Amino acid sequence: MRQRASQPLGISHALPVSGGALDECGPQQHFRGMTNVDHRPTAAPMDALWMPFTNNRAFKAAPRLLASAHGMYYRDQDGREILDGVSGLWCVNAGHGRAPITAAIQEAAATLDFAPPFQMGHPLAFALAEQLSTWLPPGIDRIFFTNSGSEAVDTALKMALAYHRAVGEPARVRFVGRLRGYHGVGFGGISVGGIAPNRDTFAAQLLPHIDHLAHTHDPSRNAFSRGRPAFGAEFADDLERIVREHGAHTIAAVIVEPVAGSTGVLIPPVGYLERLRALCDQYGILLIFDEVITGFGRTGAAFGATTFGVRPDMMTLAKGITNGAVPMGAVCVDRKIHDAVVDHAAPGIEFFHGYTYSGHPLAAAAGLATLRLYEDEGLLARAATTAPLLERAAHALRGQPYVVDIRNIGMVAAIELAPRPGAPTARAQEVFLECFRRGVLVRQTGDTVAIAPPLIVSEAQIEQIMGTVGEVLGRIA
Ligand SMILES: Cc1ncc(COP(=O)(O)O)c(C=O)c1O
């Protein structure tokens, strides 16, 4: 090992945090119980870490380092409180440092650190799959674990191919995504995804046989909609164009996010998902909902499928499945898909796919504890009752400088800004940075500022998040 001139990060490991009930998540109490913790980096070298989806050079010139988290708050390396307006990265739906999840992870680590998932099993993974199946739309009750949303998406695409082969339609190899869609960063995910910068560098090696539906963002008709926009169900008919061009018999699956999150929170117009479902039924095409962001209360119910009353054939999940505490993803499929691939296969391994850490004991334990916490605290119901407060506070920003659209559903909202001439995305980036400086974490995506707080957020905290965004908008150029 090479010697380094400077010390490594001076981070000691946190002792388990105490508390975690909603009433303990206020700014005064939220670091109760954290003793002997010093997460402050000491002159840490930063060169070795190549950061994901980050402007590495700018970050390392002016780092933003988080040291601890509890309830609704992060604390940064200087001990400053940061109100979390985006659930970390759309994943910490029950708030940070929740004691039952921490305890479950600790117990799992002490009991069974690892179990091989190929040709072996362990009880927690089966228990989580059983439990999760009771949350899903009826009939979607076969679950395959992955470690991330990206892996869940690529797994789902493979399953779609395997299904069509199993039922005697091997010509169905084409996937249909949607412009502006985000489905993670695997080659499958970026191929069906529709965000140009995520694809451009890799364009020469994207999957073949991919098409994209038109996106649904139509501010000329729908700007400042509250909840589902009224206009745009007909965007689903774009699938007919692809069917005409290639023939339905070549199309394996359509994959969409019920609410497109990472591109800037695009809410499906009234009737759109229903129409997409009807067209997929008509043409024998599988419909995949990528619910990595929309799962676990974000849209005001368990899943986007629940909120919008449309049942897909497959769902991809991640993030909120473990409250962000341990990496995990899942593909949840209609039983007919599982049975076609598994029950009708020749003896032996039925599906040549899997990950060393599929259903890892720590992730499964975290998932079980998370589902229990969502239930015990009624967090999904709480999301539905808090949603109108978020809607009101978001739309109060209408009329602030540069605001060209505000969108919301459930516990997610977006403020879209006019791009600065010659410097698109710069305004929203400045809003993100200045909000952080003022102690509020929001997410910037393109020219949009996204807000998706943990479901435990209080009305006062919603006001603080939106109020800070509003103040900052008044100060940028
Ligand atoms: C809809 C959707 N799918 C997939 C992913 C990828 O998930 P991960 O970053 O866990 O790979 C994301 C991440 O934000 C997402 O929003």
| pLDDT tens-place string over residues 220-236 | 999 999 999 999 999 99
pLDDT of residue 7: 31
Give distance in angstroms: CA of 249 to centre of ligand 1.
29
Grade residue 391 by pLDDT with cuts at 50, 70 and 90: very high
The answer to whether the CB of 439 falls within 8 A of the CB of 27 is no
Work out whether the CA dihedral 37, 40, 43, 47 comes out positive or negative. positive
**Orientation of helix 379-395 relative to helix 361-376, angle to 10°:** 70
pLDDT of residue 4: 41
Residue 386 confidence (pLDDT) above 60: yes
DSSP element (H, E) containing 67: strand 66-70
Q: What is the mean pLDDT of residues 41-58?
A: 88
Residue 268 is classified by DSSP as: P
Neighbours of 349 (CB within 10 A): 11
pLDDT of residue 287: 99
Give distance in angstroms: CA of 429 to centre of ligand 1.
21
Nearest CA to ligand 1 atom 13: 184
Q: What is the mean pLDDT of residues 375-396?
A: 98
Closest ligand 1 atom to Cα of 260: 1
Grade residue 39 by pLDDT with cuts at 50, 70 and 90: low
Distance CA 380, CA 101 (A): 17
Nearest CA to ligand 1 atom 8: 149
Closest ligand 1 atom to Cα of 318: 10
Give distance in angstroms: CA of 432 to centre of ligand 1.
20
Q: Which of 147, 180, 182, 322 to mutate to test the pocket of ligand 1 (most atoms within 8 A of CB)?
A: 182
Separation in Å, CA 150 to CA 146, 193, 246, 327, 329: 9, 11, 27, 11, 8
Maximum CA pair distance of the chain?
Answer: 67
Give distance in angstroms: CA of 18 to centre of ligand 1.
30
Is 295 or 8 the better-scoring residue by pLDDT? Answer: 295
Grade residue 8 by pLDDT with cuts at 50, 70 and 90: very low
pTM, rounded to two decimals: 0.93
Separation in Å, CA 475 to CA 406, 441, 468, 470: 19, 17, 11, 9
Q: What is the mean pLDDT of residues 126-130?
A: 98
Nearest CA to 312 among 344, 268, 351, 352? 268
Give residues (CB < 6 A) around ligand 1: 148-150, 153, 182-184, 257, 261-262, 290, 292-293, 318
Q: Which of 145, 157, 296, 319 to mutate to test the pocket of ligand 1 (most atoms within 8 A of CB)?
A: 319
The answer to whether the CB of 160 falls within 8 A of the CB of 286 is yes
pLDDT of residue 43: 55
Determine the residue type at 2.
R
pLDDT of residue 14: 33
Closest ligand 1 atom to Cα of 151: 11
Give distance in angstroms: CA of 150 to centre of ligand 1.
6
Q: Which of 151, 155, 183 to mutate to test the pocket of ligand 1 (most atoms within 8 A of CB)?
A: 183
pLDDT of residue 24: 40
Give distance in angstroms: CA of 132 to centre of ligand 1.
19
Residue 337 is classified by DSSP as: H
**Orientation of helix 459-473 relative to helix 379-395, angle to 10°:** 30
pLDDT of residue 1: 40
Grade residue 32 by pLDDT with cuts at 50, 70 and 90: very low
Residue 361 confidence (pLDDT) above 70: yes
Could you give the percent of the chain with pLDDT greater than 70?
A: 91
Nearest CA to ligand 1 atom 7: 149
Closest ligand 1 atom to Cα of 294: 1
Alpha-carbon Rg for the chain in angstroms: 22
Give distance in angstroms: CA of 53 to centre of ligand 1.
12
Is 19 or 116 the better-scoring residue by pLDDT? Answer: 116
Residue 96 confidence (pLDDT) above 60: yes
Grade residue 41 by pLDDT with cuts at 50, 70 and 90: low
pLDDT of residue 344: 85
pLDDT of residue 44: 76
Q: What is the mean pLDDT of residues 188-203?
A: 97
Three-state DSSP class for residue 236: helix
Neighbours of 404 (CB within 10 A): 15
Give distance in angstroms: CA of 296 to centre of ligand 1.
14
Give distance in angstroms: CA of 319 to centre of ligand 1.
8
Residue 138 is classified by DSSP as: T
Q: What is the mean pLDDT of residues 295-323?
A: 98
Q: Using the CB atoms, write b or e for 32-55: b if 16+ within 10 Å.
A: ebbeebebbbeebeeeeeeeeeee
pLDDT of residue 6: 36
Grade residue 238 by pLDDT with cuts at 50, 70 and 90: very high
Three-state DSSP class for residue 228: coil
Could you give the percent of the chain with pLDDT greater than 90?
A: 91
Determine the residue type at 367.
G
Mean pLDDT across the chain, nearest whole number?
Answer: 92
Give distance in angstroms: CA of 303 to centre of ligand 1.
15
Residue 35 confidence (pLDDT) above 50: no
Q: Which of 293, 315, 355 to mutate to test the pocket of ligand 1 (most atoms within 8 A of CB)?
A: 293
The answer to whether the CB of 190 falls within 8 A of the CB of 198 is yes
- What are 146-184's pLDDT values in tens digits? 999 999 999 999 999 999 999 999 999 999 999 999 999
The answer to whether the CB of 279 falls within 8 A of the CB of 256 is no
Q: What is the mean pLDDT of residues 345-349?
A: 95
